[in-house]
Structure 1
Amino acid sequence: MAEVVLKDVMKAYGAVHAVKDVSFTVEHGEFVALVGPSGCGKTTTLNLIAGLIPLTDGEIVIGERVVTDLDPKDRDIAMVFQNYALYPNKTVFNNLAFPLQMRKQSREAIDKKVRDAAKVLDITHLLDRRPRELSGGQQQRVALGRALVRDPAVFLMDEPLSNLDAKLRVQMRSEIKRFHHNLNATIIYVTHDQLEAVTMADKMAVMHGGCLQQYDTPANVFANPINTFVASFVGSPAMSLIPVDVATEGGGTVLRGASGWTLPLSAINARKAQGSSNGKAVLGARHSTLKLHRTALPGAVPGKVYSVEPTGDVTFAQIIVDAEVVNISLDPSVVIQPDEAVWIEFDQDRMHLFDGQTTMALKAAE
């Protein structure tokens, strides 16, 4: 396995930048997920690493080699695609053997590598079948096996689970994670599903508009989103965001909502809010950090219940605050009704504040 380094990678189509100044390093044996909405540049970035499309600018290093100008076959990578790309008239054995046959390896070497890969992926019993005789999950294993037999420096995976049903996606997440663990493989994995990224990856690269927004461990991205886009994209339900004004009241710093409510701030949050570039901020909070009250309390924010979603072990409620939807999780024993007036209490230690103009997370001045 090998390290992968992207340095100021750019791909432009005329005046349109599909990928703009993207830089990050994938360490040896790391699982990195490129995640973001459709059109954010994640698949283009993967194709640039693979050499399937040429760079406009920048540099890509795999291992100790600059591969920017090398053909895909010379980059020591293997790709697993969304549609599996299996040969329908070949058996599973021959699908796995094909890349080795193209390298003109001996029959004995091919047989050993194919059977070793099949054993790792638990598909030995499928070697004589054809793709049409396999389930979606089995086809996905064969696609992984075809990449595995090549013994590449880096595995590149482009939304490999998107064609599977929800139950099978969960199962295959575990399979791919185990695959990574057993092989200590370097994997770069594209997905639009942030849950896949959070549950599988060592690090995640959150992309938007062709730019890298944040590159960190899933835990740090979730806990410390760098801007409102990352905050709203990572997490299920998404972080709730409410535009507010930063004001002074009674000698202290408060947040003032569009409908006139005020939220006094702790000392550290006050310092963060005072760093706003234009006197406006965005208040953010995860559903699990909020408390719901049926009567007004000091510092609680008024709202109205929009909808209630029982899921069995937890109930999710959507509360309208100043025309914004605030997600909150409740114990199933709590019964509330649409249009009911409620008040929301924010945890000062776990709330987030973002600049109203730049959308970047506000930091407390020392």
Structure 2
Amino acid sequence: MAQVVLREVVKTYGNLYAVNHVSLTVEDGEFVALVGPSGCGKTTTLNLVAGLMPISGGDIYIGDTLVNDLDPKDRDIAMVFQNYALYPNKTVFQNLAFPLKMRKLAKPDIERKVMEAAKVLDIVHLLKRLPRELSGGQQQRVALGRALVRDPKVFLMDEPLSNLDAKLRVQMRSELKRFQRDLSATVIYVTHDQLEAVTMADKMAVMSGGVLQQYDSPAQVFDNPVNTFVASFVGSPAMSLVPLTAVTRGTDMSLQSPEGWNLSLSPANARKALSASSDKIVLGARHSTVRLHKQASPGAVPGKVYTVEPTGDITFVQVYLGAAVVVVSLEPSVAISPDEPVWIEFDQNKMHLFDGETTMALKAA
């Protein structure tokens, strides 16, 4: 396996930047997920690493080798696609053996490598079957096996689980992660599903508009989003964002809504608000850090219930605070109804503040 380094990587189509000066390092044996909405540049970035399209600028290294001008076959990478791309008229064994035959390996070496991969992925009993005789999860294992037999430096995976049903997707997430850990494999994994990234990846690269927004561990991205885009994309449900205005009265600072309510800030949060480029502040809060009261309560602000979504072990409640919507999680035993007036209390130690002009997270000076 090998380290992968992207330095100021660019891909343009005319004046459009599909990938805009992206720099990141994937360490040897690391699982990195590229995440973001459709059109954010994550698949294009993966294709640039694979050599499936020419790079417009910057450098890509796999190990110590600059691969900008190398063909895909010379980069020592293996790809696993969304549609599995198995040969329908070949058995599982023949599908696994095909890339080895193309490299003209001896027949005993081919059989050995195929059996080793089949044992790792628990598909030995499927070797004589055709792809149409396999379930979706079994086909995915075969696609992984075909990549594994090549013993590549890097595995590149493009939404490999998106064709599976929800239950099988959860199972395959665990199996993929175990596969990666057992082999100490270097994996770059593209997904639009941030839950996949959070549960599987050592690091997440969150992208939007071709720009790398944040690159860190899933825990850091979740707990300390660098801007409102990351805050609103990572998490299920996403972080609630409330646009407000900072108001100073003497030595006290509060956030004021267009509807007129005020939320006093702790000294630490006041220092954060003072570092903003204007008086426009966006308050961010995860559902688990917000408390809902049915009566007016000190420090709580008024709202109205919009929807109630029971999920079994937890109930999510969407509350209107003026034009903004705040999601709160409640115990299933709490009775709550749409249009009910409520009061929302934000945890001053766990709330996030963002610059309303730049969208960047604010830090205490």
Q: Which residue of 2 aligns with 1:165?
A: 165
Amino acid at match of 1:98: F
Q: Report whether the alignment pairs 1:205 with 2:213.
A: no
Matches within 5 A, 1:143-222: 143-222=143-222
Amino acid at match of 1:103: R
Cα distance in 1 for partners of 2:62, 2:259 equals 54
Cα distance in 2 for partners of 1:180, 1:188 equals 11
Q: What SS class does the counterpart of residue 53 from structure 2 fall into?
A: coil
Task: State the shift of 1:258 in Å.
Answer: 1.3
Task: State the shift of 1:249 in Å.
Answer: 2.9
Q: What SS class does the counterpart of residue 190 from structure 2 fall into?
A: strand
Q: What SS class does the counterpart of residue 182 from structure 2 fall into?
A: helix
Matches within 5 A, 1:226-305: 226-249=226-249, 251-305=251-305
Cα distance in 2 for partners of 1:355, 1:127 equals 57
Q: Deviations over 1:30-64 (max 9, x none)?
A: 00000000000000000000000000000000001
Amino acid at match of 2:172: M
Task: State the shift of 1:250 in Å.
Answer: 5.1
Give the TM-score of the pair, scaled to structure 1.
0.99
Q: What SS class does the counterpart of residue 175 from structure 1 fall into?
A: helix
Amino acid at match of 1:218: P
Amino acid at match of 1:225: P
Q: Which residue of 2 aligns with 1:326?
A: 326
Cα distance in 2 for partners of 1:26, 1:237 equals 28
Q: What SS class does the counterpart of residue 142 from structure 2 fall into?
A: helix
Q: Which residue of 1 aligns with 2:364?
A: 364
Cα distance in 1 for partners of 2:350, 2:68 equals 43
Task: State the shift of 1:299 in Å.
Answer: 1.6
Task: State the shift of 1:248 in Å.
Answer: 1.1
Greater shift, 268-277 or 212-221, is seen at 268-277
Cα distance in 2 for partners of 1:205, 1:61 equals 17
Cα distance in 1 for partners of 2:302, 2:77 equals 55
Q: Deviations over 1:85-117 (max 9, x none)?
A: 000000000000000000000000000000000
Q: What SS class does the counterpart of residue 37 from structure 1 fall into?
A: coil
Cα distance in 2 for partners of 1:312, 1:216 equals 32
Cα distance in 2 for partners of 1:297, 1:248 equals 23
Q: What SS class does the counterpart of residue 7 from structure 1 fall into?
A: strand
Cα distance in 2 for partners of 1:164, 1:158 equals 14
Greater shift, 293-302 or 12-21, is seen at 293-302
Q: What SS class does the counterpart of residue 162 from structure 2 fall into?
A: coil
Amino acid at match of 2:152: P
Q: Stretches of 4+ moved more than 2 A in 1?
A: none
Unaligned runs of 5+ in 2: none
Q: Deviations over 1:315-339 (max 9, x none)?
A: 1100011211111100111111100
Q: What SS class does the counterpart of residue 299 from structure 1 fall into?
A: coil
Matches within 5 A, 1:120-159: 120-159=120-159
Cα distance in 1 for partners of 2:133, 2:103 equals 28
Q: Report whether the alignment pairs 1:336 with 2:306.
A: no
Task: State the shift of 1:273 in Å.
Answer: 0.5
Q: What SS class does the counterpart of residue 254 from structure 1 fall into?
A: strand
Amino acid at match of 1:88: P
Q: Deviations over 1:281-308 (max 9, x none)?
A: 1000000000000111222111100011
Q: What SS class does the counterpart of residue 258 from structure 1 fall into?
A: coil
Q: What SS class does the counterpart of residue 241 from structure 1 fall into?
A: strand
Cα distance in 2 for partners of 1:247, 1:68 equals 52
Amino acid at match of 2:262: T
Amino acid at match of 1:200: M
Cα distance in 2 for partners of 1:88, 1:319 equals 51
Cα distance in 2 for partners of 1:63, 1:322 equals 53
Q: What SS class does the counterpart of residue 305 from structure 2 fall into?
A: strand
Q: Deviations over 1:64-85 (max 9, x none)?
A: 1111110000001000000000
Cα distance in 1 for partners of 2:32, 2:61 equals 16
Q: Report whether the alignment pairs 1:27 with 2:24.
A: no
Amino acid at match of 1:274: L
Aligned length: 365
Q: Percent identity?
A: 74
Cα distance in 1 for partners of 2:49, 2:33 equals 14
Amino acid at match of 1:34: L
Q: Deviations over 1:161-210 (max 9, x none)?
A: 00001011001000100100110000000000000000000000000000
Task: State the shift of 1:251 in Å.
Answer: 2.9
User: What is the RMSD of the two structures over their aligned residues, measured on CA atoms?
Assistant: 0.6
Cα distance in 2 for partners of 1:36, 1:239 equals 15
Amino acid at match of 1:70: L
Amino acid at match of 2:146: R
